[in-house]
Amino acid sequence: MSGHDFSQTIYGKSRPGRHDYGISSQPADAPRDIPSEYLRSGRIGLPEVSEPQVMRHYIGLSTKNHHVDKDLFPLGSCTMKYNPKVNEDVAAMSGFAGLHPEQNDADAQGALRVMFGLERELAAISGMDAVSVQPAAGAQGEMLGLLLARAYFADRGETRHRVLVPDSAHGTNPASATVCGFETQTFRSGKDGRVDLDVLKGVLDNDVAVLMLTVPNTLGLFEKNIGEIVDMVHRAGALCYMDGANMNALMGQARPGDFGFDMMHFNLHKTFSTPHGGGGPGSGPVAVKSHLEPFLPTPRVVEANGALRLEYNRPQSVGALHSFYGNFGIYLRAYTYIMRLGSDGIRCASSTAILNANYLASRIVSKYPIPYGQRCMHEFVATGEPLKKYGVRTLDVAKRLLDHGFYAPTVYFPLTVPEALMVEPTETESRETLDRFADALLAIAHEAETSPDVLHSAPTETPVRRLDETTANRSPVVTVPAA
Amino acid sequence: MDFKNIRFTKEHEWVRVEGDEATIGITDFAAGELGDIVYVELPKVGAAVKATQSMGTIEAVKTVADLFAPVSGSVSAVNPELEQHPDLVNQDPFGNGWFVRVTLRDRKEFDALMDHAAYQSMIGK
Amino acid sequence: MPYTYHTDEDRAAMLAALGVTSEEELLDVIPEKFRLRTLLPIEKGKTEPETLRAMGAMSRTNRPAAHLVSYLGGGIYDHTVPSVVKNLTGRPEFATAYTPYQPEASQGTLQVIFEFQTHISRLTRLPVANASMYDGATALAEACLMAAKITHRDVLLVPYALNPRYLRVLKAYVSGQKIEIRTLGASDAGDIDAAALTKELNETVAAVVVQTPNYFGALERPWEFEAEVHAAGALLVASVDPISLSLLRPPGEYGADIAVGECQPLGNDIAYGGPLVGFMACKQEYIRQMPGRIVSATYDVEGREAFVLTLQTREQHIRREKATSNICTNQGLLATRATIYVSLLGEGGFTELGRVCHQRASKLAAAIAACDGYSLRYRAPFFREFVVACPTDAQAVVDAARREGILAGIPLERYYGASARNLLLVAVTEKNQDEDAEKFCAVLKRAALVKVG
């Protein structure tokens, strides 16, 4: 048996008969008009705790988290920028939070205005013709893009089976291809970490439906030949999809629509400052050129005579990916953020993000080489390879950073860099914070040379130390077992 | 350990043949590179497997590898211990950590595989 | 500029350290023809007070259910969100943390997910649950894809009374694969027609979907056909309202292989239908086919109990095109709210909640059925939602009620066409008071008279 006692979970704190939160001051009887065959017998097995216990329990848990409001969260490709608090106040307004999705369009004009306005703004930022905010996350945006491609080719009487992704792609790209019934073909990146035009030429043919490309790529590099890449793909009759996870480098500086992309997704929980919530919710709006617009999911928000309404009648639509209209509460936060920044603030955010990444790279490159060159966009990928000779791995560096009060960068990704450390500081960090983080990384490199055991046993300052992940994987214990 | 009757693949599987039955596992080198093996997914007894094609998966905590068939044939046995004790692959890769037995269709496929010396040189030992 | 904090001196020093003279220079890698040299056609930035004023004005152009008397349901239910839930999940420690990939610095999030999994497991009586899905609809779609992979079959049988919005999502999710969806007719009672099920069940069926309560609010009897489904080699997938599990038989007890549902009613705002949060639970033997993140208990090197993401080799960041799903970001913060909600209500509060909802729904249904011309459409028992047959177009009733500040329900014509013109779907939560019911009935009676007149 597992031997866990779970005394520190909410279940461990339960005492039979402790009942605090009441629903109604009138007595509620067991249902009389539902035959007993439909009814549950016996207890559910939920905990019985008081309100102060609940508060203390979850406050206690909250203190065991690292979070952006505590300190730097330099996860590459995750854009952990500061989450403005005004966004939360707007999302909590009862006019928005208290709106039911089945209400009449006339009663939801403000909400529709936010969706409509956000779609217009994202179209402007991407240089695309139309946007659907519906996808609930980036991966669902990818899925939508591939369903659009499927519908587009079907409409033209073509069947294409393959999706191309470079070896530096996010794992969601090939996984989304599979969900949409495509085969993934991974091609290797060139020596400079970018798409090698000859390699691309070698894999392109009339069976390819879509090239999925992250720009800037996961190494933080801009695809210098992006115009040629897109042209080659189009000449093969295929479509170009941009994974917009790294849009924080581009917004206000250049537009994927101008590069020639047919479609892309945004991550509102990255680029547009909405909080990550310990894993979600996010939002993954998809922007497309006009030739893909007829296939967008329904409902669409349309304007007629100054009023907005939800339009379902789109015969070529791929259907729906969400029960209702997607993660509306996230649109409110992103819309508020864009309102705060404005056109000039958007430009300043991306250029500052790039400045911060380059500055941080320059501070640590002496100990952590950057295989594909130091000049980067909003993030860079360094390697912990030189520390290997001291018996220290990138994982040890990551764990030691936790002792310094920082979160670790993304590690061991992309797969094209050994011992990878993928660092994205974002524009909301001050120079002092960047310097503190760089100093910590340099101090860790020094420790690797002088006392590597300190790194092997890190972290020591966190609520728990390194975990037995092997047993958790061999025999997972995923619930408090019922008594 | 006597490796005289054992052959190896580029994908780090080993094969030992007795009569027309081939026993297949992965090398100590491969097990070490993967780290703690937490789960293996094996073909069913009776399944047909084809040389160089995937016939199962080997999972560590944060990586997963295909188990390739070194030879073609039909699966005559799978190691029943691995479901509960995947750690046997790490502890005794050439012995109790074997994966499957296959009834050989073509002995030549076996003969064409690397011998121990060639394998050692491939992994740079 | 908002949310960037360098002084001019900082910027100058940083640029000097890089050996460049301007931030523009760092963007030189973008070919000139693609550089945007003008500002985007977006307004100039606003201060926080200006933003609050503008967004406040926009919010007031809505007429939200929260300010009215509402009987809207259809999968989204307006329950009271306890102050404790709002207070705790507003905390940045939960809200501004990332996916817990570094477990030593993420024990708060990890333990919350573990408790969420336990709550879901107790409610459904299935041993395994994941960390959340986007919503109830995608959870169902993922369950169906999972069933197709497990059984290597490609037909899904879904009930006529499946939430039509779930059906739309299911269709889109399977559209890229060779999977066929067949609809089972409804019996006159409003539940699945057992004869239709028997007729459609064969060796091609991957899963039989049952939703209970179904979209019409009617309760199903999956235990009557569970053996038949399994004998045919198909999986039984149950889509359930977690609040209903306070009173109703849990899916694990009637042999469901996978249970899914929508956790919005557990402490989350209705928020114009999003963000929502789906759950998924399953039998132990299917844990490796499950999509999404899963947390396991374990120990640290000093023997302290701790929590960690497990079975990550199922997921896209490791298994890529062979992953069980493409899901990455999920609905963590909403699952956190659901966790705290269930912990706070606990055994007693949760049971009371179910009883109160049901009792008020029963009372309202009886009161409506006593109004001239109105009746209940289906005779199957219901939990907290039911279909009313109106003496006139349901849309006309809805329009009349709306003028008096009451959201009467969902006209089923919206989803089921002209044959459902007079049908109205009415939902009740603990927020609906008995005195509102009197006013509602008065409105219904007047709406009926308008038609007659």
Rounded Cα–Cα distance for residues A74 and A81 (Å):
9
Over residues C297-307, mean pLDDT: 96
Over residues C301-309, mean pLDDT: 96
- Phi/psi for C431 (5° steps) reads -75, -25
Enumerate neighbours of A (3 or more CB pairs within 8 A). B, C
pLDDT surpassing 90 at residue B62: no
Which residue shows structure tokens 């009313």? C388
- Phi/psi for C326 (5° steps) reads -95, 0
pLDDT surpassing 80 at residue A45: yes
Mention every residue, 6+ apart, whose C-beta is less than 8 A from residue A237.
A158, A160, A206
CB atoms within 10 A of CB C279: 30
**Residue A3 pLDDT:** 81
The structure tokens listed for B35 are: 């780290």
Q: A380-383 and A410-411 as β-strands: parallel, antiparallel, unpaired? A: unpaired
Residue A471 CB-density burial (10 A; 0-12 exposed, 13-18 middle, 19+ buried): buried
Average pLDDT score over chain A: 96
Is C387 in a helix, a strand, or coil? strand
CA quadruple A81, A84, A89, A95: dihedral positive or negative? negative
Is C361 in a helix, a strand, or coil? helix
Contact B60 C313 (CB under 8 A): yes
**Residue A247 pLDDT:** 98
Contact A101 C273 (CB under 8 A): yes
Contact A474 B87 (CB under 8 A): yes
Contact A473 B61 (CB under 8 A): yes
- Closest C-chain CA to A349: C4
Q: What is the pLDDT of residues C27-85, one digit of tens each?
A: 999 999 999 999 999 999 999 999 999 999 999 999 999 999 999 999 999 999 999 99
pLDDT surpassing 80 at residue A136: yes
**Residue A1 pLDDT:** 44
Q: Which of C381, C377, C406 is nearest to C391 (CA)?
A: C377
User: CA A243: distance to chain centroid?
Assistant: 11
Name chain B contacts of A469, Cβ cutoff 8 Å: 61
Rounded Cα–Cα distance for residues A64 and A408 (Å):
15
Enumerate neighbours of B (3 or more CB pairs within 8 A). A, C
- Check residue A63 and report its DSSP letter: T
Rounded Cα–Cα distance for residues A474 and A470 (Å):
6
Using alpha carbons only, how large is chain B's radius of gyration in Å? Answer: 13
- Check residue C106 and report its DSSP letter: B
Rounded Cα–Cα distance for residues C424 and C407 (Å):
11
Cis preceding linkage at A216, omega within 30: yes
Contact B86 A469 (CB under 8 A): no
CB atoms within 10 A of CB C331: 32
Per the document, the length of chain B is 125
Which residue blocks in A180-286 are alpha helix, DSSP H?
A: 197-203, 226-235, 256-259
Over residues A347-351, mean pLDDT: 97
Name chain A contacts of C11, Cβ cutoff 8 Å: 355
Contact A473 B87 (CB under 8 A): no
Rounded Cα–Cα distance for residues C231 and C244 (Å):
28
**Residue A483 pLDDT:** 73
- Check residue A409 and report its DSSP letter: P
**Residue A2 pLDDT:** 59
Percentage above 90 pLDDT, chain A? 95
| CA B8 vs CA B3, B18, B41, B96, C198: distances in Å | 10, 15, 21, 18, 53
- Closest C-chain CA to B58: C313
- Closest Cβ–Cβ partner in A412, A469, A474 for B86: A474
Q: Which residues pair with A161 in a beta bridge?
A: none
Best of B61, B64, B85 to substitute, by most chain A Cβ atoms within 10 angstroms, is B61
**Termini Cα distance of chain C:** 64
Rounded Cα–Cα distance for residues A457 and A483 (Å):
36
Q: What is the pLDDT of residues A424-467, one digit of tens each?
A: 999 999 999 999 999 999 999 999 999 999 999 999 999 999 99
Over residues A353-376, mean pLDDT: 95
Name chain B contacts of C284, Cβ cutoff 8 Å: none
Residue A366 CB-density burial (10 A; 0-12 exposed, 13-18 middle, 19+ buried): exposed
**Residue C452 pLDDT:** 45
Over residues A272-288, mean pLDDT: 97
Best of A7, A49, A62, A258 to substitute, by most chain C Cβ atoms within 10 angstroms, is A62
**Contact assessment for residue C205 and residue C365, using Cβ atoms and an 8 Å cutoff:** no
Percentage above 70 pLDDT, chain C? 99
**Contact assessment for residue B45 and residue B64, using Cβ atoms and an 8 Å cutoff:** no
**Contact assessment for residue B3 and residue B116, using Cβ atoms and an 8 Å cutoff:** yes
**Residue C453 pLDDT:** 40
**Residue C451 pLDDT:** 52
**Contact assessment for residue C393 and residue C408, using Cβ atoms and an 8 Å cutoff:** no
CB atoms within 10 A of CB A143: 29
Q: Which of C117, C423, C217 is nearest to A38 (CA)?
A: C217
Contact A474 B59 (CB under 8 A): no
Contact A343 C92 (CB under 8 A): no
**Contact assessment for residue C419 and residue C408, using Cβ atoms and an 8 Å cutoff:** no
Q: Which of C406, C312, C409 is nearest to C77 (CA)?
A: C409
| CA A222 vs CA A174, A235, A242, A289, A346: distances in Å | 21, 22, 13, 22, 19
Q: Which of C127, C118, C161, C101 is nearest to C309 (CA)?
A: C101
pLDDT surpassing 90 at residue C434: no
Rounded Cα–Cα distance for residues A66 and A462 (Å):
10
Contact A172 C326 (CB under 8 A): yes
Mention every residue, 6+ apart, whose C-beta is less than 8 A from residue A232.
A197, A200, A201, A204
The structure tokens listed for C363 are: 């009372």
Q: B73-78 and C375-376 as β-strands: parallel, antiparallel, unpaired? A: unpaired
- Closest C-chain CA to B38: C311
CB atoms within 10 A of CB A481: 14
Is C72 in a helix, a strand, or coil? coil
Q: Which of A17, A43, A35, A479 is nearest to C245 (CA)?
A: A43
Lowest mean pLDDT among A394-403, C273-282, C315-324: C315-324
Q: Helix, strand, coil % (nearest 5) of chain A?
A: 40, 10, 50
Over residues C426-439, mean pLDDT: 94
The structure tokens listed for B1 are: 């350990």
- Phi/psi for C420 (5° steps) reads -105, 20
| Complex-level ipTM | 0.97
Q: Which of B57, B53, B27 is nearest to B39 (CA)?
A: B57
Rounded Cα–Cα distance for residues A112 and A117 (Å):
8
Q: Which of A265, A333, A329, A337 is nearest to A297 (CA)?
A: A265
Contact C42 A61 (CB under 8 A): no
Q: Where are the beta strands (DSSP E) in C35-112?
A: 69-70
Contact B62 C288 (CB under 8 A): no
Rounded Cα–Cα distance for residues A107 and A308 (Å):
11
For residue C449, name the pLDDT band (cuts at 50, 70, 90).
Answer: confident
| Shortest alpha-carbon distance between residue A469 and chain B (Å) | 7
**Which of residues 375 through 414 in chain A touch B, CB cutoff 8 A?**
412
For residue B3, name the pLDDT band (cuts at 50, 70, 90).
Answer: confident
- Closest C-chain CA to B39: C311
Over residues A223-239, mean pLDDT: 97
Rounded Cα–Cα distance for residues A265 and A138 (Å):
7
* DSSP per position, C326-343: ---S--HHHHHHHHHHHH
| CA B46 vs CA A100, B79, B109: distances in Å | 56, 14, 20
Best of C62, C283, C331, C432 to substitute, by most chain A Cβ atoms within 10 angstroms, is C62
Whole-model pTM?
0.97
- Check residue C301 and report its DSSP letter: T
**Contact assessment for residue A53 and residue A47, using Cβ atoms and an 8 Å cutoff:** no
Per the document, the length of chain A is 483
Name chain B contacts of C288, Cβ cutoff 8 Å: 39
